[in-house]
Structure 1
Amino acid sequence: MALFFKVLTKLDVERTLSLPDGCLQALPDSQSSHGKELQVMDDVGILWNFRCVIRSGVVPKLNIVSGWIQFVRVKQLSSGDRVVLYRDDDSLTGARYKIEVLRSHESSKPGI
């Protein structure tokens, strides 16, 4: 099940990923009232550890503040690229999270 789909902004690729409203309830519970740990697997099977922090306000906002910039650099993400976060629930192992990157531009090969 897709939790969110987001087109990345300049701020997303330079500092922190701000998650859409409603994602907070779908993430794993944490002992900390101020943040959550999120482990996600990318398309090649690499596990990424993200630290999510809850920003207070009228509507609490969730930002990925740790591990995100390393992910951006390794994946060479830029503004306009898209990310999709999925959650799969398994009755034995619990929730598992996957992240998918969709490039803003597809490389096209010239026809032969």
Structure 2
Amino acid sequence: MKEVTKTLITSDLERRLLLPENCLKNFPRGHETFLKIRDEDGIVWTFRCRIPPGNHSKPALYGEWFLFVRQKGLKAGDIIVIVFDKVEAPAPGPGGDHFEIKVKKASPGTRN
């Protein structure tokens, strides 16, 4: 199980969510894929993931990521935790296999 914790910055919210290098090391480089990620409310989001070529490149999430940001009211300073361990959907659950995401809201005094 690979867990990624990230404190969000403005560019994560407005341009793309950059993830740490090699957090998706089993995914092919130089390609784009779609990741199904379930939130704490049980909603499965489909984030577009671009993994640039090269060994020292950071995967980036796009697509429904921006809808997720708006729907959750995310701001700079909030923390997300993505668990990159496939979770099988309960039969006959919708959405198929997916990863998980959790949000930790920053207290108002700690936001940028």
Q: TM-score, normalised by structure 2?
A: 0.77
Q: Which residue of 1 aligns with 2:100?
A: 98
Task: Report sequence identity in percent.
Answer: 35
Q: Which ranges of 4 or more aligned residues in structure 1 deviate by more than 4 Å?
A: 89-95
Q: How many residues align?
A: 103
Residue 2 of structure 1 contacts residue 84 of structure 1 at CA under 8 Å; is this kept in 2?
no
Structure 2: gaps of 5 or more residues:
91-95
For residue 16 of structure 1, report the CA deviation from its aligned partner.
0.7
Q: Are 2:69 and 1:72 aligned?
A: yes
Which segment is superposed worse, 58-67 or 68-77? 58-67
Q: Which residue of 2 aligns with 1:55?
A: 52
Aligned partner letter, 1:74: Q
For residue 67 of structure 1, report the CA deviation from its aligned partner.
1.1
Larger Rg: 1 or 2? 1
Structure with greater proportional strand content: 1
Residue 40 of structure 2 contacts residue 102 of structure 2 at CA under 8 Å; is this kept in 1?
yes
Aligned partner letter, 1:36: T
For residue 96 of structure 1, report the CA deviation from its aligned partner.
3.3
Question: 1:91 & 1:98 partners in 2: Cα distance?
Answer: 11
For residue 36 of structure 2, give the secondary structure of its aligned residue in structure 1.
strand
> Could you say what the CA RMSD is over the residues aligned between the two structures, in angstroms?
2.8
Question: 1:92 & 1:79 partners in 2: Cα distance?
Answer: 31
Aligned partner letter, 2:84: R
Structure 1: gaps of 5 or more residues:
107-112
Question: 1:49 & 1:67 partners in 2: Cα distance?
Answer: 6
Q: Deviations over 1:20-56 (max 9, x none)?
A: 1121225xx57x9511210010001000000101234
